[in-house]
């Protein structure tokens, strides 16, 4: 990054030359290969300062890596250093006797942006609730920055996985005319002088709740597609796993004829973003994430979680909804008082969140695909299973559940028959006219396909060991809260 080159513009047009330089090296680059004796300049924010009579120490971080750069200096130089200040420091790299292998013996410090003692992130414990009140500073904490770096890394690994499998990344629309899932929990938009009719008279527009229907169109052209896009729900659920604005990774694949194929893609996608963490020696982000857990038992808990997801090559457990209900009813019969006052599941009803968490948690202690839910529990577009028992009709679908979080991914095979879809919509009091474009896709060249969607923040929260998904998205929005 220290390449400098000189412009060779046509002198006619310019009459001057400039020095072209790139950015100064990051702390991450410096820490990756410090050279003893070399004079270096680093930039960053002061995380902490310790001063004694003869020497001062400061930890500097620029947020590109968890480990801070250790400065040692004459106390005079440290005079104006306060936690939170932004500085440029120059000095010689020395072997250190402290926690870190190297430190910089600083001989020049430039304060680029001072801080005062009112800087809210003094070196002490801050609750997540407090951090959420300072949106402009919260990501400066080492946990916050590390979570964001993992989020970035996960996108990268998942992109690579999909690319290796010939998936095309597409961009489905955010503004949509299709209030597909119904239910009224959608945001409506208006703009310009025409307000709610910006897109035409009687053409209300909504924020997308899922990219799936549009992804199916792309699938009909590109076979395998995926998407990382924001999704929106105008719901008032105030829980640690709901947001009004969240990101989803969704994938659709043509020529999948069995649900197992789709589940395997979902599983491999997650593995692609977790497996690298198992190799702590070579994964900076794994070490950074573990360092956010101050205590050894919490550190081990995080490691265990990664191992649970990716430690074994065994495919994840796959059980049917009916089997899940049987297991749970069996537990009730055995009189295990693990579910408090939650009543036992009944075939045909949804599984309670505590039931899902128990299955993935105490019962299997592993991620579990639960497949083949009752038709009545699922949306119109899912492929129906062959009817064995007319009282127990099911669709070819799955929920992936994991301990503590519950549902992480939902997916299914999609119905590819135009006429059946019309029937399914009619059965559900939906108007097929509203989704003509979606139905038309089946008029010529209908194709077997399936897909899934994963709430990206739930995934990041699970892998980074954060309890609330509000703490893994930059500027969380929920009912009553949109602060900047």
> Of 143-202, which residues contact a copy of itself (CB under 8 A)?
144-145, 148-149, 151-152, 155-156, 159, 163, 165-166, 168-178, 184-192, 194, 198-200
Pick between residue 68 and residue 303 the one whose CB is nearest to a copy of itself.
68
Supply the minimum distance, in Å, between the C-beta of residue 305 and a copy of itself.
Answer: 21
Residue closer to a copy of itself by CB (options 96, 264) is 264
Verify binding: residue 63, a copy of itself, rule CB under 8 A: yes
- The 19-58 site mask, x for binding a copy of itself (CB under 8 A), equals xxxxxx-x-xx-------------xxxx------------
Nearer to a copy of itself, 30 or 306 (CB): 30
- Separation CA 483–CA 469 (nearest Å): 17
Task: Out of 143, 244, 375, 412, point to the residue binding a copy of itself (CB under 8 A).
Answer: 244
Considering the complex, what minimum distance in angstroms separates the CB of residue 258 from a copy of itself? 7
**Footprint of a copy of itself on 74-103 (CB under 8 A):** 84-86, 88
> Quick one: 410 exposed, middle or buried, by C-beta within 10 A (0-12, 13-18, 19+)?
buried
- 347 is an interface residue for a copy of itself by CB under 8 A: no
Q: Which of 161, 247, 373, 381 binds a copy of itself (CB under 8 A)?
A: 247
Alpha-helical runs (H) found in 37-170: 128-132, 142-164
Distances (CA, A) of 235 to 180, 211, 221, 293, 479: 16, 18, 34, 32, 7
Which of 120, 350 has the CB closer to a copy of itself? 120
Nearest residue to 120 via CA among 167, 146, 82: 82
Phi-psi map region of 230: left, alpha, beta (phi>0 left; psi -120 to 50 alpha):
beta
Where do we find the tokens 């440290």? 78
Contact 435, 403 (CB under 8 A): no
CA 179/CA 181 separation, integer angstroms: 6
Q: Among the candidate windows 271-279, 292-300, 314-322, 343-351, which touches a copy of itself by CB under 8 A? A: 314-322
Contact partners, residue 238, CB within 8 Å, separation at least 6: 478, 479
Q: Does 292 bind a copy of itself (CB under 8 A)?
A: no
The yes or no reply on residue 286 touching a copy of itself (CB under 8 A) is no
Q: What's the DSSP call for residue 276?
A: G
| Total residue count of the chain as it appears in this document | 484
Q: Which position among 79, 255, 300, 301 is part of the footprint of a copy of itself (CB under 8 A)?
A: 255
Of 356-415, binders to a copy of itself (CB under 8 A) are 364
Binding to a copy of itself by residue 239, rule CB under 8 A?
no
The torsion angles phi and psi of 16, rounded to 5 degrees, stand at -160, 160
């Amino acid at each position: 990054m220290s390449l400098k080159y000189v412009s060779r513009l046509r002198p006619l047009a310019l009459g001057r030359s400039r020095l072209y330089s790139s950015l100064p090296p990051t702390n991450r680059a410096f820490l990756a290969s410090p050279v003893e004796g070399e004079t270096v300049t680093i930039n960053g924010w002061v995380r902490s300062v310790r001063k004694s009579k003869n020497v001062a120490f400061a930890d500097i971080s620029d947020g590109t890596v968890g480990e801070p750069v250790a400065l040692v200096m004459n106390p005079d130089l440290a005079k104006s250093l306060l936690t939170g200040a932004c500085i440029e420091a120059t000095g010689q790299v020395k072997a250190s006797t402290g926690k870190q292998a190297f430190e910089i013996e600083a001989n020049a410090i430039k304060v680029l942006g001072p801080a005062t003692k009112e800087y809210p992130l003094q070196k002490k414990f801050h609750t997540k609730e407090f951090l959420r009140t300072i949106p402009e500073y919260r990501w400066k904490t080492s946990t916050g920055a590390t979570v964001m770096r993992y989020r970035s890394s996960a996108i990268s690994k998942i992109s690579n996985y999909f690319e290796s499998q010939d998936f095309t990344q597409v961009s489905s629309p955010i503004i949509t005319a299709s209030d597909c899932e119904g239910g009224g929990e959608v945001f409506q938009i208006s703009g310009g002088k025409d307000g709610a009719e910006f897109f035409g008279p009687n053409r209300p527009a909504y924020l997308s709740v899922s990219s799936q229907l549009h992804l199916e169109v792309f699938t009909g052209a590109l076979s395998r597609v995926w998407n990382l896009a924001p999704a929106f729900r105008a719901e008032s659920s105030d829980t640690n796993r709901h947001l009004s604005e969240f990101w989803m990774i969704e994938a659709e694949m043509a020529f999948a004829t069995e649900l197992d194929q789709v589940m395997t893609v979902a599983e491999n996608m997650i593995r692609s973003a977790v497996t690298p963490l198992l190799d702590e020696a070579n994964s900076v982000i794994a070490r950074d994430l573990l360092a956010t857990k101050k205590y050894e038992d919490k550190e081990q808990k995080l490691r265990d979680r990664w191992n649970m997801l990716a430690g074994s090559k065994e495919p994840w457990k796959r059980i049917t909804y009916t089997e899940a209900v049987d297991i749970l009813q069996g537990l009730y019969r055995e009189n295990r008082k693990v579910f408090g006052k939650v009543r036992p599941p009944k075939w045909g009803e949804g599984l309670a969140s505590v039931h899902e968490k128990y299955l993935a948690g105490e019962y299997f202690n592993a991620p579990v695909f639960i497949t083949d839910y009752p038709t009545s529990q699922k949306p119109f577009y899912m492929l129906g299973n062959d009817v064995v028992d007319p009282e127990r009709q099911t669709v070819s679908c799955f929920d992936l559940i994991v301990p503590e979080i519950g549902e992480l991914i939902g997916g299914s095979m999609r119905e590819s028959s135009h006429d059946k879809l019309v029937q399914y919509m009619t059965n559900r009091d939906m108007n097929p006219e509203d989704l003509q474009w979606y139905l038309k896709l089946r008029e010529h060249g209908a194709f077997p396909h399936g897909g899934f969607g994963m709430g990206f923040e739930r995934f990041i929260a699970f892998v980074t060991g954060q309890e609330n998904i509000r703490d893994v998205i930059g500027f969380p929005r929920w009912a009553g809260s949109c602060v900047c």
